Structure 1
């Protein structure tokens, strides 16, 4: 990948789109999972759970990623919603899930989200839908 993203006087015919698939093949053949935080191919290589990182990624992915995940055959990962997630990530996920909210009431959603996130390591889409449904009922 260094050869692909740096301006070096070296050439390769390797197509990086297959890196992810090749890594998965090796994983299966060796019956050994790639570490989650392994550079480039780990499942957390392009994951962001910190609020400031999430906001930066939403504004411009290149703020925190020098490699476009699509270059190596990865689908663009969702931001991981945790107790460290900020307002930008929560708003983005709510919009992605087509959860309607009134902007002036967003702080209520965010406060409830933080209380839920303090009890769980990761808030799933289903958790968020349930949370918002409960808020809208009350």
Structure 2
């Protein structure tokens, strides 16, 4: 059926069935024509008090009406539907992810509300508008459904404003001239490559700064349920290869401790996060490590199928960013003194 037809059908039921005012009218719509949510909302407008729906629209054939879409339509357009559900919208995204994990059935990237691209923006004018005022292109915020933030997808259509935000989010603290130089290189890369990843941005900035000091050359860990975690690492500093080993509270902690023995940065790890790039046992782990030194917070990132290796690389990445930041700051101070 169609929304208009279903609206009239519910109205006819209300008009023609005796005692229906004392009955909770419920609808159950399938998505064979992609109209399950639209039909459910039309039924609500016509007076239905209950809607049967499912998380992610999961169900036989083309699925059922998607709970997340109905809830957010009612929340966002209260002026039209005048209906409340009592559902905590902040748990919507987490529930969607949980169902995906349990069933192994992923939602399509462009799925409304919970899809990967639901709050992603690539066009330069969209990115600039979102950064200045979110409501320009978003009728709701990612936070409303329990997501962390909208995503600025860098590509050939991205502008300088979005590029600068990405640079900052990756933990780099660059001057306007440095950002300008990196942006020129980014546009050249974006013309050749459709998808720009964080690692590409790291590479662009690294080429603009021949100041990276540390290079992780080797990681080996021994761990298990009956032995204390032990990590052995080798780090290249300039032309010198240094090695060390350390124990820790787990293989990642042991590895970071071993690297710190070599570099002696005195930076403190204040945040650590691991995400799976793909949902299989062969997935790469996307690791971010945030360090703090003298009130400055820098985040390093890396991805690898081995979480320990990814963690070590992310930590070294953060230390290199910190080294770049400290050298840039020294250069600025030197210029100020000379002037």
| TM-score grouping bracket, smaller chain normalisation | 0.7 to 0.9
Alignment correspondent of 1:88: 161
DSSP-derived class of the 1:118 partner: helix
Equivalent of residue 66 in structure 1, options 136, 139, 160: 139
Deviations 1:53-109 (A, max 9, x none): 110111011111111111111111331111111111111112333434443464432
Q: Within 5 A, what are the aligned runs for 1:1-138?
A: 1-6=72-77, 7=79, 8-104=81-177, 106-137=179-210
Give ranges in structure 2 of 5+ residues lacking alignment. Answer: 1-71, 211-339
TM-score (norm. length: structure 1)? 0.86
Structure holding more helix per residue: 1
Gaps of 5+ in 1: none
- Structure 1 residue runs of 4 or more that deviate by more than 6 Å after TM superposition: none
Instruction: Say which structure, 1 or 2, has more relative contact order (CA 8 Å, 6+ apart).
Output: 1
What is the TM-score of this pair, normalised by structure 2?
Answer: 0.38
CA, structure 1 residues 12+99, in 2 after alignment: closer, same or farther (shift >3 Å)?
same
SS in 1 for 2:96: helix
Q: Tell me, yes or no, if the aligned pair for 1:99 and 1:129 is still in contact at 8 Å.
A: no
Larger Cα Rg: Structure 1 or Structure 2? 2
CA–CA distance in structure 2, aligned partners of residues 91 and 118 of structure 1: 18
CA distance in structure 2 between the partners assigned to 1:61 and 1:19 by the alignment: 20
**Residues in 2 aligned to 1:95 and 1:30: alpha-carbon distance in whole angstroms:** 37
